[in-house]
Structure 1
Amino acid sequence: MKNPEHKNAESLSEVHQSVDTSKRTGWRRILSFIGPAYLVSVGYMDPGNWATDIAGGSKFGYQLIWILLMSNLIALLLQSLSARLGIVRGLDLAQASRNGYPKWVNIPLYGLAQTAIVACDLAEVIGMAIGLNLLFGLPLIWGISITIFDTVLLLFLLNKGMRKMEAFIVSMVFIVGVSFLIEMFIVEPSLKEIVKGLEPSVLSGEALYIAIGIIGATVMPHNLYLHSSLVQTRKFERDDKGIREAIKFNFIDTAVALNLAFFVNAAILILAAAAFYKNGLHEVAEIQDAHRLLQNIFGDVAPALFAIALIAAGQSSTVTGTLAGQIVMEGHLKLRIQPWLRRLITRLLAIIPAFFTILWFGNDALGGLLILSQVVLSLQLGFAVIPLIHFTSDKKTMKGFAIKPWVKILAWISSLIIVLLNVKLVLEEIKGWAADGGWYIYAIVIPVAVLIGLLLLYIFIYPLVSSRKQSVDIAPHGNALNIQAVEKIHYARIGITVDFSKNDRNTIRHALIQGGKQAHYFLIHVVETAVARYHGDSALDFETQSDAENLEKYRINLAELGYKSSTHIGYGGTVKAIVNITEENKLELLVMGAHGHKGLKDLILGTTVNSVRHRVSIPVLIVR
């Protein structure tokens, strides 16, 4: 049975319920649920995490491993809540937010979520470019430029199906894991000190600051949106038993995947501790520095594996980040655009700042841009975590699957830790910027930060005090209407677009069926020659004259058959000309022939039919 909250608004509709779990038994059934959390886990080992892990390991050795463990446990809790929301309600976090909060709130929520995704994507772009530079010597500006082709890769993977995409991501994660496993054997860390690093210790000063950075870079907001959507790619029985089983298997998936992410992050920190801290190199914060020093200490193998892992992490995180962009746009705004365009926009918004940073400030400024992206991420985190806890605690909408009180307490404590530490991080950054001077800090940055803080407070309080009935109208196209008595529509003025191809006979025939011999038919053709574009109706080139003669032949032919018609020639831009003729002659129906070309031909030849139907206010009949 389909979840009634779905209507027609399935999250990631291209792959919604595309993996059937019901036909499998035993281990094969458990394995059919494995996958979504691996796509999520790559966000926990993206290049944005590498900088904080490297800095922590090089400055404080193994001391901060327990911070990684704590942040991983918090991530496990929050990601399991995200999966529960998607499984039980059949909604992703963005759709649930649109239901649970007033309409106006969803606009800034979308803006913040999209900004966080762009900031995350920025980290992937920079990481990918650095990896290509380290491995092949490719200039950073070229590395950043070619990351735009990730859009094509994502479309290809999505068209191949969800399991193929998950296989690609898992292979990337496997490359990262194996690379660091081999590096562990090369650097030979101290097991005794690693175990000691798992014991909590009191942190202060710079150690506390880096610890905040590690936590802020670990739990990423877009992962919560993503996970609540990806779990819906599994098709299962929506009775109590089926939902309970799906929650259990997805928790196993999440636990395994996030522990793998913890291993990778711990490996980066341990690598930095064993390679740099032990050798007295305590100021290694840049990814390029880490690679260079690895080469000096251990030769060529370790740095090559380091670069390969960086590329794999960036590539896989990019795929999941752009998927999250689709989810927040459709969920918060009920807006759907072409998948390739949506992903291209997200990627360009990440590439442009990185591109111009290199042009204006040089390659060395990328490290600062990477840190800025993590600060932007931290600002948005509360806007995902707080609604998530509210939604999964709601006994009415979660039916019998609301989280237990002790889980709720742990979730609120975790969110409080994350929000407070991230607020501290943001305040520290603003304080640093203010010390450097600049009117924009007081005119723009501080007022924006205050407004964001007030919005966060509203997001927390609103569900507690509001008795607003949650709407289930989440369908992007609205709800079905009651169709009343149907009366025959008589069209008196019908436009027919012709291009003198073999399609014309079919187009004209369909138009005549609509209006019969009582209607008047307007035969429309547009001349697109250069002369016609510049001279309009005064054009007398051969093509214009030939087209006018052919149009007149159609009119005479229709007159012989007993139909009234007139000829109308447009000049220049096809869409604009057809729209103008339609409006000037007050047409009631427009009949157009479609050639059936698509893909590359659409990009080259244009999509006249689509453009016209969006610009006219009358019915358009498209004939193939």
Structure 2
Amino acid sequence: MPKNISVIDAPTTRTTPPRSLWLLGPALVAGVAYLDPGNVASNMTAGAQYGYLLVWVVIAGNVMAWLIQYLSAKLGVVTGQSLPEVLGSRLRNRWARRSYWLQAELVAMATDLAEIIGGAVALNLLFNVPLLLGGFITGAVSMILLTVQNRRGARPFEFVIIALMAIITIGFVAGVFVAPPDPAGVIGGLVPRFEGTGSVLLAASILGATIMPHAIYAHSALTRDRFGANPHQTPADATTEAARTETSRIRRLLTATRWDVTIAMIIAGSVNLGILLLAAANLAGVEGTDSLEGAHAALTAGLGPVVATFFAVGLLASGLASTSVGAYAGAEIMHGLLHVRIPLLARRLVTLIPALVILGLNVDPTLALVLSQVVLSFGIPFALIPLVALTAQKRTLGAWANRGFTTAAGIVASALLIALNAALLWLVLTGA
């Protein structure tokens, strides 16, 4: 595999790119990671405990997420490879590659843990299903969704995940229209500030649950699968006309990708903000809202069973969609770094085990969600730093390498996220 990958190395896979609307989709699938049960728990708790104080954190996290997801998508479009594949070819030392894979795999499993538990809790709230059985059901449904991806390809899988995203949006935002937030409070929440250590911890939790390593790995793979270039094409294969056609194709794909990421982040950001505003307007000061079960009970008491049911349905869709995308990311991590591809469904069974064991041991679901976010914090630097570095290199992206301003913004966002995740780890581990 050649070390240098540039736009002229790619073949002309389409002489006439499809309509721009048809190019949308990968970011919406990756964006499901921003609506997983960990996000729900963090935003609900922030609103219930601190009202509108952390509105600015949700918005800032969404802006940073836009840049990070776009860089990931661009890597897949231009190189025709996912981030794990690029790293797998660059990490020549076998043990370095395996070590990187191990941390990425642990992060993917921690993500899966939160999502399976979220689905199990939702089934328990809706149908009083025992948590362990709910975990099995969530895992089984996710396997069905992955079968769609295996047999029908990327596009049908995207349609299913986007449909689940629509359910998530309705489920979590419906309550905001029933009991609207205070406009003055929302505006006040746009001013960056904290109130004590607890608010810092929650801010770090919100950002930790927002920027997830597996979403970065998955997005580059999703764009590659949909319309990435072929990295195995040699420069000798490209004529001047072919190079011009490919340049035009990539330019159009990147324009569509920016729209795709923008739409996905607007949806994800609106839903996360809606969850926080729902809690701030209706659950402020209510006891027990630091858990998903407690938040559901408080919504039932304060806004009625209909809004609470919408919330539980949204949580269930969140668990099902996000765990499917997480399993997809985990398979890509293994393939890209270890050059081993095992059946996606078989891998799904293996990653279910930790979540089912925790549910079987009757570990507090909320505690498990918090601990999963701590594990995710460890993985943030390993995904962000290589992503920003690779997309800034001309030998990787050729003419499509980041401009100086983009690279600087990526470095600032990465440094801030790493610092806040480090703060989250310190606060959780020290009990501050």
TM-score by length of 2: 0.90
* Aligned counterpart in structure 2 of residue 138 of structure 1, from 111, 129, 133: 129
> Is 1:264 the equivalent of 2:258?
no
> Is 1:295 the equivalent of 2:300?
yes
For 1:318 and 1:53, the matched residues in 2 are separated by 19
8 A contact 2:70–2:258 mirrored in 1: yes
> Is 1:69 the equivalent of 2:62?
no
CA shift for structure 1 position 155: 1.2
Aligned counterpart, 2:367: 368
Aligned counterpart, 1:416: 415
8 A contact 2:4–2:396 mirrored in 1: no
Aligned counterpart, 2:30: 40
Q: Deviations over 1:404-423 (max 9, x none)?
A: 11111111111111111111
Aligned counterpart, 1:189: 181
> Is 1:322 the equivalent of 2:327?
yes
CA shift for structure 1 position 235: 3.4
What is the correspondence of 1:442-457 to structure 2 with a 5 Å cutoff? none
SS of 1:62's partner is: coil
For 1:220 and 1:336, the matched residues in 2 are separated by 23
Aligned counterpart, 2:74: 84
- Identify which of structures 1 and 2 has the higher relative contact order when contacts are C-alpha pairs closer than 8 Å and 6+ apart: 2
Matched to 1:395, the amino acid is K
* Aligned counterpart in structure 1 of residue 213 of structure 2, from 214, 221, 240: 221
Matched to 2:212, the amino acid is M
8 A contact 1:107–1:333 mirrored in 2: yes
* Aligned counterpart in structure 1 of residue 139 of structure 2, from 133, 138, 148: 148
> Is 1:126 the equivalent of 2:117?
yes
SS of 2:283's partner is: helix
For 1:203 and 1:388, the matched residues in 2 are separated by 33
What is the correspondence of 1:120-519 to structure 2 with a 5 Å cutoff? 120-149=111-140, 150-235=142-227, 239-277=246-284, 280-281=285-286, 284-356=289-361, 358=362, 361=363, 365-432=364-431
User: What is the number of residues matched between the two proteins?
Assistant: 409
Matched to 1:122, the amino acid is L
Greater share of helix: 2
RMSD (Å), alpha carbons: 2.2
Aligned counterpart, 1:452: none
Aligned counterpart, 2:41: 51
For 1:52 and 1:74, the matched residues in 2 are separated by 18
For 1:73 and 1:377, the matched residues in 2 are separated by 20
> Is 1:105 the equivalent of 2:81?
no
CA shift for structure 1 position 324: 0.3
Aligned counterpart, 1:546: none
8 A contact 1:21–1:33 mirrored in 2: no
Matched to 1:108, the amino acid is S
For 1:204 and 1:248, the matched residues in 2 are separated by 42
For 1:5 and 1:250, the matched residues in 2 are separated by 25
For 2:209 and 2:114, the matched residues in 1 are separated by 11
Aligned counterpart, 1:583: none
Matched to 1:102, the amino acid is R
Matched to 2:76, the amino acid is G
8 A contact 1:236–1:242 mirrored in 2: no
| 1:23/1:396 CA distance change after superposition, 3 Å | closer
For 1:22 and 1:79, the matched residues in 2 are separated by 27
For 2:15 and 2:159, the matched residues in 1 are separated by 21
CA shift for structure 1 position 100: 2.4
CA shift for structure 1 position 396: 1.8
CA shift for structure 1 position 145: 2.4
State the structure with more CA Rg. Answer: 1
Matched to 1:208, the amino acid is V
| 1:6/1:168 CA distance change after superposition, 3 Å | farther
Aligned counterpart, 2:239: none
| 1:143/1:165 CA distance change after superposition, 3 Å | same
TM-score by length of 1: 0.63
Question: Gaps spanning 5+ residues in structure 1: where?
Answer: 8-16, 436-624
CA shift for structure 1 position 154: 1.3
8 A contact 1:88–1:398 mirrored in 2: yes
Q: Deviations over 1:449-489 (max 9, x none)?
A: xxxxxxxxxxxxxxxxxxxxxxxxxxxxxxxxxxxxxxxxx
| 1:330/1:6 CA distance change after superposition, 3 Å | farther
Aligned counterpart, 1:606: none
**Which sits farther off after the overlay, 383-392 or 135-144?**
135-144
Question: Gaps spanning 5+ residues in structure 2: where?
Answer: 6-10, 230-244
8 A contact 1:6–1:90 mirrored in 2: no
| 1:404/1:344 CA distance change after superposition, 3 Å | same
CA shift for structure 1 position 350: 3.1
